[in-house]
Structure 1
Amino acid sequence: MKSASAFCFLVLILFVCAGDLAAQGTLYKESSAPAETRVKDLLSRMTLEEKIDMLGGFEAFYIRPNERLGIPKVKMADGPLGVRNYGKATAFPAGIAFAAAWNKDLTRTYGEMIGKEARSKGVHIMLSPGVNIYRAPMCGRNFEYYGEDPFLASRMTVAYIRGVQSQGVVATVKHYAANNEEYDRHTVSSDVDERTLREIYLPAFRAAVEEADVGALMTSYNLINGVHASQHQHLINEVLKGDWKFDGLVMSDWTSTYDGVAAANGGLDLEMPSGQHLNRDTLMPAIKAGNLTVATIDGKIERMLRIMFRFGFFDRPQLDESLPLYNPESRRVALQAAREGIVLLKNEGSLLPLDRGKVSSIAVIGPCAHPAVTGAGGSSKVEPFLSVSPLEGIIAAAGDRLKVFYSAGVDYDLETLFRQSQFYFISEKNETVRGLKAEFFANPDLTGAPSLTRTDKQVRFNWGESSASPGMPTDNFSARWTGKIRADVDGDYEFYVQGDDGFRLSLRNQVVIDEWHDQGATLKSAKVSLRGGEQVDLRLEYYEHSGDAEISLGWRRVSESKDSEALRLAAKADVAVVCVGFNPTTEGEGFDRPFELSKDQEEFLKSVASVNKKTIVVLIAGGNVAMSGWIDDVGGLLHAWYPGQEGGTAIGEILFGDVNPSGKLPATFEKKWEDNPTYSSYYAREKKLAYTEGVFVGYRHYDKKNVDPLYPFGYGLSYTTFQYRNLKVTPSASATDPKIKVTFEIVNTGGRGGAEVAQVYVGEQNPAVPRPVRELKGFEKVWLKPGESKTVSIDLDKSAFAYYDVGRKEWVVKPGKFDVSVGSSSRLIRFSQQVMLSK
């Protein structure tokens, strides 16, 4: 009997154990299990080969799935101006426009809309936000980012990420780090000292990790202090994963991995868009040789699996079919963002808002007036369901009584021009051949016999990092195009060349454009008089040193009739609105743009201002442009950035006063390029880009050098006025744990409702190390009706007073005196109070 009982008990034990083992066998599939438990369980079931295979991207925009284990195919999409790659989507204003709105709640809502649209397309990971600092106005991707100040950028970053991730979508903060120019981005080293990195270029990334708990981070193309970002041991393993305790996924930007073993040991978890370097052929021999550990590989897979479990990718479909692809809610947010992000920079004689009862006609002219320029170029460019141009928005806002005239004035569709320009040459057989004779040389100086000779019907090439032709080097090559052109009629003709690196154009054996030096993608033009029927010899020479390679050539007759028509309309209208700036061809990813507007736009703008004293400029650009040649001649200036699909509506509403502008500059606008702190160091020398200005970026430099900018950081006009009063600052605090509350009142003393952005700055008196005069440490956007007042309260903690001590490798606050200031810009300080931090 006892033996029978014992047998039954043994059977029971075996049954229970079997049940436990069965449960363990599906543990990673149990949604109720802790995420870390599921990660460890699934990791234990993967072979080393399966793990390594996951380290390389799949089908360009996916993490590789594993059918055997049920690991899903994780889908990514470009951002941050919208959900790209999978059809039409809402085109939101550019990131810098959100920074100009200074509205954290709006930015969070924008993130939520991005998250919802991502779910409507089954996207798991959004490749946004971009949070690099605006260092100089020419950077081709400034428009994606949040301006020059690390505190402002951090607040926008946190808000956006929280919004996206609240919808079950992973946000990816990028580009880590010091990616502040696009020119030659694969090979240039950003040489930055540690304190400058910590205080200026890393805070937004740190905030993304420590405050927003971002799921993923993307490294940049450039090198930092001589080491590629995708294999940077210090920045990834020591700072990101060590100091900040980041436990999410670190991925490369597309084709920005350069050494598989170095990247694996340097902290990169996922190579995109494929495993060109992180693959079995590279990593298995390194493991066998002891140069790479299996534990390092396991750590990368753990990070991938962690975000999959954390965001529920194993437990539900990512595609949410209840969400509309075309979301009216997103459209409303895009419109509100455009309204709040547009900055009124000049309003001479209260020209604006336009009075419908006094203005009977308005001329809307310029290349950016119609069709809409919703965003700049590159991976952030979104094809919207619809878009409203400034012309359309102004017509809608003007109403039926006002006459609206329109002319482009200047044709700035260079993409079409490059494709359609006509050339010919006479062959050795004395035959006329359409196109140009092209000769390519495997050296940068056009010497020796050409390695390749061919006919190119047009010159419109963007080779990027690739070779111009099989057998040609990807760097250090040159090319020459020769042939003829024939003008149809007598007149002035404009010739355009855009190139990266050097180029020069000759007509009749006379050089008319000479840019024979290393540079990012640069557009230059020259005006030449030609006779009808004249055969003109043409020669274009080009060289590529390193990095991206591109060259384009186009020409056309200067349309005097179009210019004359536009000027005639401007002269007869009560008001002229001139829309100028850049577009996806002339500003965007992979190249830096000029500081100046194109010569024909600037000349046209000055011509309009000469015939209509009530000229208002609407600027479409990712930052500042050279304005000294025309700013004094115009009555008004709106900076619209890239305002997204609803930008035209917002522009019309602001011009006519239906919306009171409330945007403030997120970057200092210099009077001239020479005033910028990076003027002598922006362009790399021998592949080294020295950040010689240190922590004195943007307004920090202008304050230190006492240089007056054209428009200061934080500046923006309104149609109403505001008064600040009753400042109260906590009188004293401990340097070890300062907690200070700043309170004050703002009163709307004008006749219109509006919003003011109150800015709190902190500056240390007699600092032990060089520190800025003042730094932004708090802000609040306040909406007020006429006569209404509100009390604003802003808390300052240790971070508001600290600097990074390189020797101690930590943030420190020294006891002493600090100025706490409240202003409506970095230069318009309303009041200031001294506080003492004791030991």
Structure 2
Amino acid sequence: MSDRIEQLADQMTLEEQVSILSGEDFWSLPAIARLGIGKLRVSDGPNGARGGGSLIGGVRSACFPAGIALGATWNVDLLQDIGVALAEEVKSKSAHMLLAPTVNIHRSVTNGRNFECYSEDPILSADLAVAYISGLQSQGVGATIKHFVGNESEIERTTMSSQIDERALREIYLIPFEWAVKKAQTWGVMSSYNRLNGTFTSEHNWLLTTVLRDEWGYDGIVMSDWFGSHSTVETVNAGLDLEMPGPPRDRGQKLVDAVRSGAVTQATLRKRVIAMLRLMERAGSLDDHRPFEEHANDRPEHRALIRRAGAEAAVLLKNKGVLPLKGDGSIAVIGPNAKIAQIMGGGSAQLNAHYRVSPWEGLLKAVGEDRLRYAPGCTNHRFEPVLRGPFTAEYFANETLSGAPVHTEIQDDAQAFWIGHVGGGKVDPLHFSARISGTFTPEHSGAHRVGIYAAGFAKVFVDGKLIADAATNWTKGHTFFEEGCDEVVGVAQLEAGRAHQVVIEFVTKDFGSLGLAAFAAGIGLPLGDKDITEAVRAARDADTAIVFVGRNGEWDTEGSDLPSIELPGRQNELVAAIANANPNTIVVLQTGGPVEMPWIGSVAALIQAWYPGQEAGNAIADVLSGVQEPSGRLPQTFPVRWADNPAHSQDHEVYPGFEGKVRYEESIFVGYRHYDRLGLTPLFPFGFGLGYTSFALSDMVVHDAGFEADGDVAVGVTVTNTGQRAGSTVVQFYVSDDASSDPRPAKELKAFAKVSLDAGETADVTVKLDARAFAFYRERARHWLVEDGSFTLRAGLSSADLPLSAQLTRKTTLMLPV
């Protein structure tokens, strides 16, 4: 700690000290001009640095692949490069910290936020998080790893208590955070919304002080998730340094009073202040007095990195010789995700991307328009397509739409997410009304569906007639982080080519947990049997059919879990019909996790492309055409059906939660550990992925001279590219405890290495394992334990393909501290 920090803390008044322990507004802390302390600013991540604050609109930003896509790369070097690039993005938004990475574990396949997280496995998540944080902080931008801890579902997440035993916490859920602290020295940790075993994580002394600071030696700051602080004295005393956002709800004068009364001691307050000043010094905000400016820097090198990462994330799950695309035959491009670029999930990770490349656009550049024919087939949206503008928005400084508007502006489309600065700053952001007016000109005549959902009271009028009413009987639903209602849909007969008048009326309402106002309005014309028939005709007439299906950010989103893992709408029907019409059917799947695939036996090839960022279409076309190798490997097990997942249960307390509790009954048996335990064969195992070449492993060598003394082992294998072209693979190393006194998984991933080789090339790969790789957490004694007896090391290319093994033995036990 520098002398300057100590001196500043000593010079600050009580009120000044308290002021930097909460936000001034949604994205920044207050400056202290008297002492020359600049304003610390943060920006949402993790797949970009959002400009403008709001989730909708704002200054444009580069959109990188989603977390699960980065997890599928299994490439720590790539994650470090992305961290460096994101630091540049953060700086372009005049910010000092990125609210990222997200490392919660894929406990349930239905978690709406899985797309934002890396994996079901703690070691894969931890390794990638360390690389991401290291890259980011190497450029002087702080990371804020989140959400600490137990936020594995979006259902009632602001109040739900995650009931997790300590062994599962230590062995699964805490590992990415522990590595971020010990190996990457992260500057920030964000507490989760939920309770952990009955106590809000933002005021959980065992979590924030005993584990994080005392055991791990953490010297960074802990900030609340937005509106995730619920008390004054309890949060400060437990170890929460920063309440966000501002203006403060639990701090400010309340904290001043608590210090003066002795409920919070001067010593405790000073710890929080010192932590904040240390962060400001590290991130450079102490002396940053530049005017706030945001820039949309569309950097060519970031475009190239995003495109490369998107292609590397693609996982080839099946290929009967049809990929990469060959010759100059005709291609039918089919499906709801073909001409719409699904680049990211929904929620706080979303941003206003510089551009979006759709798969259709990518294929146009790759193979030329003459070879392509398009048919949508069906839709997959959760809500009616948002109306595109321009729209005129009139704001009223009341909740009755009365009098003259106090501010008028133009917006791009019929949606808004209002936080902080609203209506030109002329209205109270939680108490106002607005009228949004524009037109909609349909391409076809017919009965159109008009939808509206809102965190507030909203109505849609078409040509002066009320069509959709989300005000009169407003009921809380699953939109806008559970602050909004579910979509209300009406029907309007519209005429092709005619500009129909559309007016949306919006009035704020009292919020539950998160202080925001928002709405989205859309109009769509349903597709039917004739559209599937047209798609089948296009497929039958083509040499190859590529079907682009999946979900989008309406389904894979913060604030809402998935109702199932079936493809939405009629997509399963569409894929089956296309496969029946054309034996060379390729499916490109874009989702934030697994789906059930009743058609898997009928298609010739399958690629999981996730949400690969703004270069989506180019990255996908690179893989389809063979310009890039699909070198991704699954970071999450794909079950045959949802019921096979470890969190699926007839007991609602196990999932989705009951009476405020969600019980992690499976404990340490998450992901592939669960399938191994029950002998279930998944659709595709953890770590699986094909390529355009092949690899063989041989000659496993174990160096265990130090195993008895300190638990250290080095394991090596030889990797050979046995195919006809260059490519890459991921060598995975698993550990099994052959006879443990406590139940342990059949095997656990403990190390991995991504290897790129030319055709016929051979390389030796060696990884090092420390004692923790062989230990389990003994909850009764509160230490890690490596027992005496035999262990088996396995190496292979997925959790179900481990051809090499070796056994090693200990004569004594080894106890390791927490």
TM-score, scaled relative to structure 1 = 0.80
Q: Say whether 1:99 aligns with 2:65.
A: no
3-state SS, counterpart of residue 395 of structure 1: helix
Post-superposition offset of 1:215: 0.6
Structure 1 residues 801-832: Cα deviation after superposition (integer angstroms, max 9, x where no partner): 11112122222211210000001000100211
519 and 583 in structure 1: CA distance in 2 versus 1, 3 angstrom threshold? closer
3-state SS, counterpart of residue 632 of structure 1: coil
In the alignment, the residues of structure 1 paired with residue 164 and residue 20 of structure 2 have an alpha-carbon distance, to the nearest angstrom, of 33
727 and 308 in structure 1: CA distance in 2 versus 1, 3 angstrom threshold? same
Give runs of aligned pairs for residues 791-830 of structure 1, distance below 5 A.
Answer: 791-830=764-803
> Which residue of structure 1 aligns with residue 140 of structure 2?
168
- Aligned amino acid, residue 747 of structure 2: R
Post-superposition offset of 1:498: 8.8
744 and 302 in structure 1: CA distance in 2 versus 1, 3 angstrom threshold? same
407 and 94 in structure 1: CA distance in 2 versus 1, 3 angstrom threshold? same
3-state SS, counterpart of residue 637 of structure 2: coil
In the alignment, the residues of structure 2 paired with residue 545 and residue 270 of structure 1 have an alpha-carbon distance, to the nearest angstrom, of 22
> Which residue of structure 2 aligns with residue 370 of structure 1?
339
In the alignment, the residues of structure 1 paired with residue 323 and residue 174 of structure 2 have an alpha-carbon distance, to the nearest angstrom, of 40
Contact 2:323 2:626 in 1 (8 A): yes
Structure 1 residues 133-183: Cα deviation after superposition (integer angstroms, max 9, x where no partner): 111121111111111100000000000001001111111111110110111
Post-superposition offset of 1:645: 1.0
> Which residue of structure 1 aligns with residue 321 of structure 2?
350
In the alignment, the residues of structure 2 paired with residue 151 and residue 177 of structure 1 have an alpha-carbon distance, to the nearest angstrom, of 16
> Which residue of structure 1 aligns with residue 399 of structure 2?
none
Q: Say whether 1:73 aligns with 2:43.
A: no
Deviates more, 1:766-775 or 1:522-531: 522-531
Q: Say whether 1:47 aligns with 2:13.
A: yes
461 and 323 in structure 1: CA distance in 2 versus 1, 3 angstrom threshold? closer
325 and 666 in structure 1: CA distance in 2 versus 1, 3 angstrom threshold? same
- Aligned amino acid, residue 664 of structure 2: Y
Contact 1:720 1:754 in 2 (8 A): yes
3-state SS, counterpart of residue 631 of structure 1: coil
Structure 1 residues 288-337: Cα deviation after superposition (integer angstroms, max 9, x where no partner): 33321122111111011001223333356789999982211111111111
Give runs of aligned pairs for residues 670-819 of structure 1, distance below 5 A.
Answer: 670-680=639-649, 681-731=654-704, 733-819=706-792
Contact 1:732 1:837 in 2 (8 A): no
Post-superposition offset of 1:207: 0.7
Deviates more, 1:230-239 or 1:523-532: 523-532
3-state SS, counterpart of residue 570 of structure 2: helix
Whose Rg is larger?
1
Post-superposition offset of 1:579: 0.9
Contact 1:496 1:553 in 2 (8 A): yes
Give runs of aligned pairs for residues 540-559 of structure 1, distance below 5 A.
Answer: 556-559=525-528
518 and 191 in structure 1: CA distance in 2 versus 1, 3 angstrom threshold? farther
Structure 1 residues 378-431: Cα deviation after superposition (integer angstroms, max 9, x where no partner): 11112222222111112222247x5111122223455445879xxxxxxxxxxx
In the alignment, the residues of structure 2 paired with residue 798 and residue 330 of structure 1 have an alpha-carbon distance, to the nearest angstrom, of 39
Contact 2:310 2:613 in 1 (8 A): yes
In the alignment, the residues of structure 1 paired with residue 758 and residue 33 of structure 2 have an alpha-carbon distance, to the nearest angstrom, of 60
In the alignment, the residues of structure 2 paired with residue 553 and residue 382 of structure 1 have an alpha-carbon distance, to the nearest angstrom, of 19
418 and 71 in structure 1: CA distance in 2 versus 1, 3 angstrom threshold? closer
Residue in structure 2 matching 1:309, options 257, 274, 281 = 281
In the alignment, the residues of structure 1 paired with residue 90 and residue 710 of structure 2 have an alpha-carbon distance, to the nearest angstrom, of 42
Contact 2:417 2:519 in 1 (8 A): yes
In the alignment, the residues of structure 1 paired with residue 51 and residue 20 of structure 2 have an alpha-carbon distance, to the nearest angstrom, of 22
- Aligned amino acid, residue 311 of structure 2: R
Deviates more, 1:736-745 or 1:246-255: 736-745
> Which residue of structure 1 aligns with residue 355 of structure 2?
386
Give runs of aligned pairs for residues 421-460 of structure 1, distance below 5 A.
Answer: none
Q: Say whether 1:230 aligns with 2:202.
A: yes
> Which residue of structure 1 aligns with residue 120 of structure 2?
148
Contact 1:369 1:389 in 2 (8 A): yes
Residue in structure 2 matching 1:597, options 567, 573, 585 = 567
Q: Say whether 1:329 aligns with 2:295.
A: no
Structure 1 residues 239-288: Cα deviation after superposition (integer angstroms, max 9, x where no partner): 11111111111101111111122111121111111143332432233233
3-state SS, counterpart of residue 218 of structure 1: strand
In the alignment, the residues of structure 2 paired with residue 306 and residue 523 of structure 1 have an alpha-carbon distance, to the nearest angstrom, of 42
Contact 2:227 2:513 in 1 (8 A): no
492 and 415 in structure 1: CA distance in 2 versus 1, 3 angstrom threshold? closer
Residue in structure 1 matching 2:634, options 665, 669, 672 = 665
Post-superposition offset of 1:363: 1.1
3-state SS, counterpart of residue 161 of structure 1: helix
324 and 590 in structure 1: CA distance in 2 versus 1, 3 angstrom threshold? closer
In the alignment, the residues of structure 1 paired with residue 248 and residue 573 of structure 2 have an alpha-carbon distance, to the nearest angstrom, of 49
Contact 1:734 1:838 in 2 (8 A): no
Give 5+ residue unaligned stretches, structure 2. 53-58, 389-413, 420-429, 431-443, 456-474, 495-509, 813-818
Contact 2:46 2:100 in 1 (8 A): yes
Number of residue pairs aligned between Structure 1 and Structure 2: 714
Residue in structure 1 matching 2:600, options 631, 654, 671 = 631
Give runs of aligned pairs for residues 199-214 of structure 1, distance below 5 A.
Answer: 199-214=171-186
> Which residue of structure 2 aligns with residue 580 of structure 1?
549
251 and 720 in structure 1: CA distance in 2 versus 1, 3 angstrom threshold? same
803 and 546 in structure 1: CA distance in 2 versus 1, 3 angstrom threshold? farther
Post-superposition offset of 1:551: 11
Q: Say whether 1:408 aligns with 2:379.
A: no
Residue in structure 2 matching 1:300, options 269, 272, 292 = 272
In the alignment, the residues of structure 2 paired with residue 527 and residue 275 of structure 1 have an alpha-carbon distance, to the nearest angstrom, of 36
- Aligned amino acid, residue 41 of structure 1: Q
3-state SS, counterpart of residue 777 of structure 1: strand
563 and 461 in structure 1: CA distance in 2 versus 1, 3 angstrom threshold? farther
3-state SS, counterpart of residue 633 of structure 1: coil
In the alignment, the residues of structure 1 paired with residue 221 and residue 808 of structure 2 have an alpha-carbon distance, to the nearest angstrom, of 42
Structure 1 residues 618-647: Cα deviation after superposition (integer angstroms, max 9, x where no partner): 1111111121x2222221111011011112
321 and 689 in structure 1: CA distance in 2 versus 1, 3 angstrom threshold? closer
Structure 1 residues 106-146: Cα deviation after superposition (integer angstroms, max 9, x where no partner): 00000000001212332111111111111112111111111
Give runs of aligned pairs for residues 528-567 of structure 1, distance below 5 A.
Answer: 556-567=525-536
In the alignment, the residues of structure 2 paired with residue 279 and residue 416 of structure 1 have an alpha-carbon distance, to the nearest angstrom, of 41
226 and 275 in structure 1: CA distance in 2 versus 1, 3 angstrom threshold? farther
626 and 308 in structure 1: CA distance in 2 versus 1, 3 angstrom threshold? same
Contact 1:158 1:211 in 2 (8 A): yes
In the alignment, the residues of structure 1 paired with residue 490 and residue 247 of structure 2 have an alpha-carbon distance, to the nearest angstrom, of 51
146 and 390 in structure 1: CA distance in 2 versus 1, 3 angstrom threshold? same
In the alignment, the residues of structure 1 paired with residue 791 and residue 375 of structure 2 have an alpha-carbon distance, to the nearest angstrom, of 55
557 and 305 in structure 1: CA distance in 2 versus 1, 3 angstrom threshold? closer
> Which residue of structure 2 aligns with residue 57 of structure 1?
23
Post-superposition offset of 1:36: 2.5
TM-score, scaled relative to structure 2 = 0.81
In the alignment, the residues of structure 1 paired with residue 23 and residue 747 of structure 2 have an alpha-carbon distance, to the nearest angstrom, of 44
Contact 1:712 1:827 in 2 (8 A): yes
> Which residue of structure 2 aligns with residue 541 of structure 1?
none
Post-superposition offset of 1:191: 0.4
527 and 244 in structure 1: CA distance in 2 versus 1, 3 angstrom threshold? closer
132 and 660 in structure 1: CA distance in 2 versus 1, 3 angstrom threshold? same
Contact 1:730 1:835 in 2 (8 A): no
In the alignment, the residues of structure 2 paired with residue 318 and residue 805 of structure 1 have an alpha-carbon distance, to the nearest angstrom, of 52
In the alignment, the residues of structure 1 paired with residue 277 and residue 780 of structure 2 have an alpha-carbon distance, to the nearest angstrom, of 37
247 and 411 in structure 1: CA distance in 2 versus 1, 3 angstrom threshold? same
Q: Say whether 1:615 aligns with 2:585.
A: yes
Identity %: 40
> Which residue of structure 2 aligns with residue 26 of structure 1?
none
Contact 1:96 1:145 in 2 (8 A): yes
